[in-house]
Structure 1
Amino acid sequence: MTAPAPIRIRVRYFAALREALGQGSEELRTRAATPAALRQELAARGGAYAEALAPQRAVRMALDQVMARGDEALTEGVEVAFFPPVTGG
């Protein structure tokens, strides 16, 4: 089985993730098939990415501004957002 062709996506980081990574967004090419796989790919960069997107950290995901579980398919041009859970009070 061959690896999927890379797709171009936009990734947005919000709140504490934006602060930890030093940027609010980036455009990249990825072979990740799902938001969860993209999260792993980004964490593999090491440094702040590894810490901010570590599996044990609570991070929510959205695809084109719709909440995602992480197993949805990524498609060309999609916007993936990562953000910490929102607390109320």
Structure 2
Amino acid sequence: MKLRVLFFSVLRDITGTDEISVEVPAGATMGELLAQVEARWPKIAEWQGSLLLALDQTYVKRDEPLHDGGEVAIMPPVQGG
């Protein structure tokens, strides 16, 4: 399955990009995708406990199944100002 993965805020700085295309096996979950991203950019693991995850603009948990063509957003916690 092919996914569009978006990075926001400090995660954009860590990855050096705001968007990537990722291939995952059928039946993969958000947590499995996150592990793949963390393997590529280990510094993202420092944010592990506080990341916000969305699939097709809806917040989801790590056990959420992914689908082909999905748009995943990985965000640090929202901060006020």
Same fold, judged at TM 0.5 (above): yes
Aligned pair partner of 1:77 in 60, 66, 69: 69
Q: TM-score, normalization: structure 1? A: 0.80
Residue 23 in structure 1 maps to residue 17 in structure 2: yes
Q: Percent identity?
A: 35
Larger deviation, residues 73-82 vs 27-36: 27-36
- Structure 2: where are the runs of 5+ without partners? none
Rounded Cα–Cα distance in structure 1 between residues aligned with 2:31 and 2:20? 17
Rounded Cα–Cα distance in structure 1 between residues aligned with 2:48 and 2:5? 20
Q: Which has the higher contact order (CA 8 A, sep 6+)?
A: 2
- Specify the alignment match of 1:14 in structure 2: 8
1:1-89 matches, within 5 Å, as: 7-31=1-25, 33-45=28-40, 49-54=41-46, 56-89=48-81
Larger deviation, residues 63-72 vs 30-39: 30-39
| Residues 53 and 59, structure 1, Cα contact 8 Å, conserved in 2 | no
Rounded Cα–Cα distance in structure 2 between residues aligned with 1:87 and 1:57? 15
More helix by share: 2
Structure showing greater radius of gyration is: 1
The aligned length equals 80
- Structure 1: where are the runs of 5+ without partners? 1-6
